[in-house]
Amino acid sequence: MTGIENVIILGSGCAGLTAAVYAARANLNPLLVEGSSPGGQLALTTEVENYPGFPEGIQGPELMERMKKQAARFGTRFVAGDVTRIDVKARPFTVEVEDKSYQARSLIVATGANAKYIGLPSERALVGHGVSACATCDAFFFKGKEVVVVGGGDTAMEEATFLTKFASQVTVVHRRDALRASKIMQERARANPKIAWVWNSAVVEIKDPAKKQVTSVRLKDLVTGAERDFPCQGIFVAIGHEPSTSFLKGQVELDQKGYLVLKKGTQTSVEGVFGCGDIHDIRYKQAVTAAGWGCMAAIDCERYLEEHRE
Ligand code: NAP
């Protein structure tokens, strides 16, 4: 057990690291718990072309390394490992990181969300090389190409519709014969002549990991069991996201899907606990918006600490 921290930041993606830059520059001497996937979702991507300030684009891992350096420059201290438990029912708050325990007057929770993937080895091998879970990030790379979108919810409709601005053909592959998406999003997608549909089907393999590019997907008809190869150069997996909030259950308010509920600005249901980034954001999910929320959380936290000085 160490002394009582002003603030512990949980998460090292865009939201957490931006919160750290602001908290450190406000002399709060923040401690940041990096989690088991340092750098968050961007550390797993390749080219990032829509983060302002990088007109030539930047590799995701490099962008996150730069953010970490910037946070460290102003005195952020980093702890490796995952948060295993928090207790915000008593003050100071307790944060357990594997076998270590820390105490803090305030917390900024920025543990993010992860896109769900189908779970195929070939899919994992081709993430960033034709397999993507974010059309806003990657559609641009598929100009004039044929792509597949997997999923039948609002995200799949949104991604498919957006992709038609770049791709020559977009084929939505859905595991049932009815969409889950809202009526308006369905209608928009169905009316788009560039979108084709494959119903009752699953992607069971993606080719070709040996070539480090997508050349086709293997589709299985879930009614007949028949399989066939479907040529394409990209696949967008749009089957939902999962927030990393299991350690928050019973401590702060979460919505039905496990996303963090914010009450006022970045304030959660517990005073002194702030949240930012994809952990609460199901709408924008962008690096730059996560960074913006990280900045807001640090400012809210600084004001809270100022008002609650012992
Ligand atoms: P979602 O509503 O949970 O839909 C996920 C889709 O993926 C479903 O069609 C599901 O199939 C399919 N799926 C799930 N796991 C699968 C798997 N392993 N293999 C193949 N298919 C799989 O998720 P979402 O579309 O990301 O939407 C999440 C929330 O955000 C929703 O509340 C949505 O309304 C909201 N949203 C709103 C907007 C907007 O309003 N602009 C945009 C995006 C998202 P089944 O249908 O068979 O379950």
Residue by residue, DSSP assigns 192-214 as -TTEEEE-SEEEEEEE-GGGTS-
Q: Report d(CA 57, CA 157) in Å as an integer.
A: 27
Residues 6+ apart with CB under 8 A from 157: 172, 179, 181, 185, 186, 188, 189
Residue 267 belongs to what domain range? 4-114+242-307
In degrees, rounded to 5, the angle at the alpha carbon of residue 129 between the alpha carbons of residues 284 and 282 is 15
In degrees, rounded to 5, the angle at the alpha carbon of residue 62 between the alpha carbons of residues 78 and 54 is 125
Last residue of a domain, one of 192, 222, 237: 237
Q: What integer pLDDT is reported at residue 299 of this predicted model?
A: 98
Taking 3-state DSSP, the helix, strand and coil percentages for the chain, each rounded to the nearest 5, stand at: 30, 30, 40
Q: What integer pLDDT is reported at residue 2 of this predicted model?
A: 59
Last residue of a domain, one of 222, 237, 252: 237
Residue by residue, DSSP assigns 256-307 as TTSPBPPSBTTB-SSTTEEE-GGGT-SS---HHHHHHHHHHHHHHHHHHHHH
Q: pLDDT by residue (tens digit) across 187-245?
A: 999 999 999 999 999 999 999 999 999 999 999 999 999 999 999 999 999 999 899 99
| Percentage with pLDDT > 90 across the chain | 90
Locate 302 and state its tokens: 């600084």
Check if 15 has its Cβ closer than 6 Å to any atom of ligand 1: no
Do 8 and 106 fall within a single domain? yes
Do 43 and 122 fall within a single domain? no
Check if 237 has its Cβ closer than 6 Å to any atom of ligand 1: no
Alpha-carbon distances of 293 from 80, 89, 276, 297, rounded to whole Å: 23, 25, 5, 6
Do 105 and 210 fall within a single domain? no
Do 108 and 247 fall within a single domain? yes
Do 16 and 108 fall within a single domain? yes
Locate 53 and state its tokens: 């300030």
Do 187 and 96 fall within a single domain? no
Do 159 and 252 fall within a single domain? no
E strand or H helix at 24: helix 14-25
Do 232 and 250 fall within a single domain? no
Phi and psi at 129, nearest 5°, equal -130, 45
Confidence band for 41, pLDDT divided at 50, 70 and 90: confident
Check if 240 has its Cβ closer than 6 Å to any atom of ligand 1: yes
Q: What integer pLDDT is reported at residue 150 of this predicted model?
A: 98
CA R_g for the chain: 21
Q: pLDDT by residue (tens digit) across 118-146?
A: 999 999 999 999 999 989 889 999 999 99
Last residue of a domain, one of 207, 237, 267: 237
Question: Is residue 82 annotated as part of the catalytic site, yes or no?
Answer: no
Q: pLDDT by residue (tens digit) across 277-302?
A: 999 998 898 999 999 999 999 999 99
Q: pLDDT by residue (tens digit) across 79-118?
A: 999 999 999 999 999 999 999 999 999 999 999 998 899 9
Q: What integer pLDDT is reported at residue 96 of this predicted model?
A: 97
b/e per residue 194-209 (b: at least 16 CB within 10 A): ebebbbebbbebbbeb
| pTM confidence score | 0.78
Q: Report d(CA 244, CA 110) in Å as an integer.
A: 9
Question: Is residue 134 annotated as part of the catalytic site, yes or no?
Answer: yes
Q: Report d(CA 192, CA 95) in Å as an integer.
A: 50
Do 43 and 79 fall within a single domain? yes
Do 157 and 253 fall within a single domain? no
* Residue of 117, 175, 206, 223 best suited for mutating to test ligand 1, as the one with most atoms within 8 Å of CB: 175
Alpha-carbon distances of 15 from 75, 112, 132, 147, 267, rounded to whole Å: 17, 8, 21, 31, 15
Cα(149) to centroid(ligand 1), Å: 12
Name which of 48, 40, 12 is nearest 128 in CA terms.
Answer: 48
Residue by residue, DSSP assigns 36-90 as SSTTGGGGG-SEE--STT-TT-EEHHHHHHHHHHHHHHTT-EEE-B-EEEEE-SS
Cα(240) to centroid(ligand 1), Å: 5
Q: What is the mean pLDDT of residues 249-271?
A: 97
Mean pLDDT for all residues in the chain: 95
Q: What integer pLDDT is reported at residue 285 of this predicted model?
A: 87
Contact predicate 114/241, CB 8 Å: yes
Locate 18 and state its tokens: 């931006």
Nearest protein CA to atom 21 of ligand 1, as residue: 151
- Name the 3-class secondary structure at 241: strand
Q: For 141, which DSSP code? A: G
Do 64 and 100 fall within a single domain? yes
Number of domains the chain contains:
2
Check if 118 has its Cβ closer than 6 Å to any atom of ligand 1: yes
Residue 206 belongs to a domain with what CATH number? 3.50.50.60
Do 101 and 165 fall within a single domain? no
Q: Report d(CA 31, CA 8) in Å as an integer.
A: 5
